[in-house]
Chains A and B, each alone.
Chain A
Amino acid sequence: MKTSRVPFALLGLTLFAVGLSAEEGMWMPQQISEMGAKLKALGFQGDPKAFGDLTGQPMGAVVSLGGCTASFVSPDGLIVTNHHCVAGALQYNSTPTRNLLKDGFLAKTRKEELSNGPGSRVWVTTSVAEVTGAITGNIDPKTTDRERYGLIERRIKERVAACEKGGQRCNVASFFGGLKYFEIAQMEIKDVRLVYAPADGIGVFGGETDNWRWPRQTGDWGFVRAYVGKDGAPAPFSMDNVPYQPTHWLKIAQAGEEPGALVFVVGYPGRTQRHQTYEQVKETADWAMPRSTAGAGTIGDSGAAFEAG
């Protein structure tokens, strides 16, 4: 399913505490801002409002690679992401005699960094605005479903076209099944280079046997760097490009976490079917999922449809 950079920036909050039942869920960042009292009770000491500011600290440091979430971790455009998210870059730079997928890669200097290929992108969110009124407002109640669908699609396209005139890339995304719409503008960085990925014995340790299972011991990381033209604007790969200077980047904690710590995970795209009805979930369990897992292993199967980012 092509969900690539559709900007569902959601926030999962998980608490593991001894003696307390673990509380967890997935919310839009804007919702977290409204949960101040609850977060305080859970022991959170920062400002909950900061989560609602998608272009501030720390949310502004979180970017999308198109299907993968990643974060700036240095003022010189260094980005950390999951290991499988740099597999494409490793593949692009591999040859039968130099297999980076197997051996990993480390650029010891900036000059040694390798282009991830022309299709590689970093999407930096520059603005987020609710546009529900402009998308679903002023629709005659007598309008048929088909006409309504067409009208909303047209309004979205018009907004996206107007928004993209400034050279940025835009999306209008629906939340809560069309209840709310948000317009998200993003900077599209086109020169992305491979910096570091461990060998597969570390990056894919445990393989499919351990994948999606916890606890999981894997060096599941990879580093890339975003480059832009000398004028600071996105440009295709060129040795003249310079590292992108992000406004925000994450600082890595050196100490590690204690058991029972409050943990937040931020991701693009996030999605949950929590609001589905019983019958909808039942259809997924009885029909959709058995169907897609049974056919897997043969080409053209549904596997590709659920290729997860």
Chain B
Amino acid sequence: MAILEQLSKQDKAIAIKVAGRILGLNNGLTNQKGELEGLVKGGSLTQKEAQEKELEAWIAADPARQKKYGDVLPALRTLQAENQKTRERNSAVALLTGSSSYLRDGPKTRSQSKAQILQFGFL
């Protein structure tokens, strides 16, 4: 953003070309900062923790439920731990392809971004 802003000061034609990108980056950044604040200071994380403890207690309270759902959360934790091993690398690849409009919009990344959506397509 700093580089784009500096280029904008040098040349009006460039300023017009990068204006949308700067708006988009700023928009996303403001959103993320606010969301992070809501998660931590806003208490969403604490609330989530309490809800999950309640869910675990509810599952543990009944043998039939324990049998049906007991291994779900531990399995998710195992998968998450597995994912954390490569998260720096995965994130770097996502940045390389995602930050460049050339790579991001290229045909080769289309299936990749779809995979990302599959992964994060929680509702």
Q: Which A residues fall within an 8 A CB radius of B?
A: 1-3, 6, 8, 10, 26, 28, 84, 87-88, 91, 94-96, 99, 101, 153, 156, 173-178, 204, 208, 211-213, 271-285, 287-293, 296-308
Cβ B1 vs Cβ A297 within 8 A: yes
B40-60 residues at the A interface, CB under 8 angstroms = 40, 44-45, 48-49, 51-52
Cβ A6 vs Cβ B117 within 8 A: yes
Cβ A2 vs Cβ B27 within 8 A: no
Q: Which residues from B are CB-within-8-Å of A2?
A: 98, 104-105, 109-110, 113
Q: Can you name 4 extra interface pairs (CB under 8 A) apart from A91-B20, A276-B48?
A: A91-B19, A94-B16, A96-B16, A281-B45
CB distance from B87 to the nearest CB of A (A): 7
CB distance from B77 to the nearest CB of A (A): 6
Chain B interface size, as a band, is: 35 or more
**Most chain-B CB neighbours within 10 Å: which of A1, A300, A304, A306?**
A304
Cβ B31 vs Cβ A212 within 8 A: yes
CB distance from A179 to the nearest CB of B (A): 9
CB distance from B88 to the nearest CB of A (A): 9
CB distance from A23 to the nearest CB of B (A): 16
Cβ A289 vs Cβ B123 within 8 A: no
CB distance from B84 to the nearest CB of A (A): 7
B1-43 residues at the A interface, CB under 8 angstroms = 1-4, 12-13, 16-17, 19-20, 23-36, 39-40
Cβ B2 vs Cβ A307 within 8 A: no
Number of CB contacts from chain A to chain B under 8 A: 173
Q: Which residues from B are CB-within-8-Å of A177?
A: 119, 121-122
22 A-B pairs (CB sep. < 8 Å)? A2-B105, A3-B117, A84-B23, A84-B27, A91-B16, A101-B16, A101-B19, A208-B27, A277-B73, A278-B48, A278-B51, A279-B77, A279-B80, A281-B44, A283-B80, A288-B91, A289-B35, A293-B36, A297-B2, A298-B2, A303-B99, A307-B25
Cβ B73 vs Cβ A99 within 8 A: no
Q: Mark B82-109, 1 if CB is under 8 A from A, else 0.
A: 0010010001001100111100110001
Cβ B123 vs Cβ A26 within 8 A: yes
Q: Assess whether B76 is interfacial by the CB under 8 Å rule.
A: yes
Closest to B94 in A: A305
Cβ A272 vs Cβ B95 within 8 A: no
**Most chain-A CB neighbours within 10 Å: which of B20, B44, B104?**
B20
Q: Assess whether B64 is interfacial by the CB under 8 Å rule.
A: no
Q: Which residues from B are CB-within-8-Å of A10?
A: 123
CB distance from A172 to the nearest CB of B (A): 9
Cβ B39 vs Cβ A285 within 8 A: yes
**Most chain-B CB neighbours within 10 Å: which of A88, A277, A290?**
A277
Q: Which residues from A are CB-within-8-Å of B84?
A: 283
Which of A178, A277, A289, A305 sits near B99, CB closer than 8 Å?
Answer: A305
A84 to B28, CA, bound (A): 12
Q: Which residues from B are CB-within-8-Å of A307?
A: 24-25, 27-28
Which of A204, A277, A284, A292 sits near B39, CB closer than 8 Å?
Answer: A284
Closest to B99 in A: A304
Q: Which residues from B are CB-within-8-Å of A173?
A: 117, 121
Closest to A160 in B: B114
Cβ A275 vs Cβ B123 within 8 A: yes
CB distance from B81 to the nearest CB of A (A): 9
Cβ A308 vs Cβ B28 within 8 A: yes
Closest to A300 in B: B99
A305 to B121, CA, bound (A): 16
Q: Which residues from A are CB-within-8-Å of B110?
A: 2
The list of the 6 closest CB pairs from A to B, nearest first, reads A304-B99, A96-B12, A2-B113, A303-B25, A305-B98, A306-B28
Q: Assess whether B61 is interfacial by the CB under 8 Å rule.
A: no
Closest to A280 in B: B80
Q: Which residues from B are CB-within-8-Å of A301?
A: 1, 95, 99
Cβ A296 vs Cβ B98 within 8 A: no
